[in-house]
Structure 1
Amino acid sequence: MINKGEVREVLSGRHISLEVLPLSFSEFLSFHGVRMGSTLDVLAKEREVKKLFLEFLKFGGYPSVVGSNLKEKILLELYNDILTRDIVQACRGQTTGKIEELSSFYISNIGNRVSFRRISRSLDMPLRMVERFTSCISDSLLLYFVSPLSPSF
């Protein structure tokens, strides 16, 4: 009989990789059977839309998470898979610890302005490492980075 560890070795390479982006809020509503045609529809379903919006903010819009009762467990597994498979591999086998520390920093500072220099000092990590790991995190689509909006074009 084959144990779990051996199954992974035997089946290694037998998978299909798909790039799945999170649902938009409109798509999220559709998943929950809420159709929004006009502003009147939003007003008529205000309570339900607010409740779903809070859920969307908390859990995001990954399709496998939206319809599940195990949202937190699935999100944690997705995070760990992306971190260990995609990001660490993209950063050429760097230790997970520093990459996880940086991704945790970004996650706990969502919406805040950050600079590589500040992160480098805060995490006691070389500036080039912060830049490289950030690039790997961004390329993995774990997080989306938004440039500041400048009023001058």
Structure 2
Amino acid sequence: MDSEKLKGVILDQKESMEELLTRERIIKRDTPFDLSNYLNHPNIIAVLGVRRCGKSVFSYTLLREILSTFAYINFDDYRLIEFSTSDFENLLKGFYELYGDFNYILLDEVQNVNGWERFVSSLRVNKTVILTGSNSKLLSGELATSLTGRHVDLVLFPFSFKEFLRYKGKETHDIFSIKSKSSLKRELEEYLTVGGFPETVVMGKRVLSSIINDIISKDIIFRYKVAEVNKFKTFAYSIIKYYSSEISVRRMAKMLNISTATLEKWLNGLRESYLVFMLERFSRSPKPLNSEKKVYVVDTGIINNFTVERSVSKLMENVVAIHLLRKNQLEGVSYLKEQE
């Protein structure tokens, strides 16, 4: 791709993002640590998380609040479907022609370009780079090896209940009056039903089908070249229905009539796309008690899209698990099961 065509894409995308930020209500997201501390010198910051949870807007506004000029491109664009590593030189040329000298660059959904790691690694010498991606393996491979840990990563989730209230202008610290308690319960009921994807909070639960289809089709089936598409979808929907429950990979493989190895591969795809999380049972023993793990889904709206009979207690357990994963950035979270 020549630099002139790339410049057209860059300008179109920036205009679209600015229009979005003007048109929509944008809230400050809660993060477990302050990312601004890592923006003061050349660095790589990876903002990871499930597709359509708000990574692009979060990253763009993070830079927009402190800078008047920064480079930005979103690789999840049909016009960039043929973009390859050989085009990075022209992309950089286009950025310099548009912005002159710049120190900050945002590469959105960069994992769509094979071999992006070397380009990003070279930028780190004198620029601060923010990457976004919807796959937990974004920092595996050559980038992680070449940087030897010299990067910062943040896993972003759909809105927490607190962020959900903030978006609706109903964030409150007063939960003692009968009126405030009743109002908070109504909002919690809606949150458990609709979930926290920004689009569903704005437009309602009808957009959930589109979000789920994007995650499963683009981030798993396409990326991992799944051949048995229908069987995989049956598996994925079954896993979601097991939210806040223990599963056995062997039993599920037998039930779906597929090999354990295939099921493990599919399960890894769900996990790496941040759609589901599999927690180990807590044990003081260095060895796991058994092979069972507990399933938690990234958003309760997705759960309600596939389940007819809902369990408030299980939904609340799922919300708490996701809160702990968000707060601890996926580290050190397990579940406790009392001996029967």
Fold in common (TM above 0.5): yes
Counterpart of 2:245 in structure 1 is 112
Counterpart of 1:92 in structure 2 is 225
Quickly say closer, same or farther: Cα 1:109–1:28, change in 2 above 3 A: same
CA distance in 2 between counterparts of 1:115 and 1:14 reads 41
Quickly say closer, same or farther: Cα 1:54–1:151, change in 2 above 3 A: farther
Between 54-63 and 92-101, report the one with greater CA deviation. 92-101
Quickly say closer, same or farther: Cα 1:147–1:87, change in 2 above 3 A: same
SS of 2:169's equivalent? Answer: coil
Counterpart of 1:137 in structure 2 is 270
CA drift at 1:47: 1.0
CA distance in 1 between counterparts of 2:271 and 2:157 reads 13
Counterpart of 1:146 in structure 2 is 279
CA distance in 2 between counterparts of 1:26 and 1:131 reads 34
SS of 1:113's equivalent? Answer: strand
Matched, 1:60 2:167: no
Encode CA deviations 1:90-147: one digit per residue, 9 max, x unaligned: 3224332122111111111111100111111111111001100000011111222222
Question: Whose Rg is larger?
Answer: 2
Between 87-96 and 134-143, report the one with greater CA deviation. 87-96
Counterpart of 2:78 in structure 1 is 12
- Unaligned runs of at least 5 residues, structure 2: 1-76, 82-107, 110-131, 135-155, 287-340
Contact 1:28-1:61 at 8 Å conserved across structures: yes
CA drift at 1:12: 2.2
Counterpart of 1:7 in structure 2 is none
CA distance in 1 between counterparts of 2:193 and 2:282 reads 25
SS of 2:278's equivalent? Answer: coil
Q: CA RMSD in A?
A: 2.2
CA distance in 1 between counterparts of 2:208 and 2:162 reads 21
Matched, 1:25 2:161: yes
Comparing both structures, which one devotes a greater share of its residues to strand?
2
Comparing both structures, which one devotes a greater share of its residues to helix?
1
Flag the structure with more relative contact order, 1 or 2, with Cα contacts below 8 A and sequence separation at least 6.
Answer: 2
CA distance in 1 between counterparts of 2:285 and 2:182 reads 39
Contact 1:88-1:95 at 8 Å conserved across structures: no
Give me the TM-score of the superposition, normalised by structure 1. 0.79
Matched, 1:47 2:173: no
Contact 1:36-1:42 at 8 Å conserved across structures: yes
Q: Which runs of 4+ in 1 moved over 6 A?
A: none
Quickly say closer, same or farther: Cα 1:89–1:51, change in 2 above 3 A: same
Aligned residue pair count: 138
Quickly say closer, same or farther: Cα 1:148–1:30, change in 2 above 3 A: same
CA distance in 1 between counterparts of 2:258 and 2:164 reads 38
Give me the TM-score of the superposition, normalised by structure 2. 0.38
Quickly say closer, same or farther: Cα 1:149–1:29, change in 2 above 3 A: farther
CA distance in 2 between counterparts of 1:57 and 1:149 reads 26
CA drift at 1:14: 4.2
CA drift at 1:60: 1.3
CA distance in 1 between counterparts of 2:164 and 2:241 reads 24
Paired amino acid for 1:88: I
CA distance in 1 between counterparts of 2:285 and 2:187 reads 36
Quickly say closer, same or farther: Cα 1:56–1:152, change in 2 above 3 A: farther
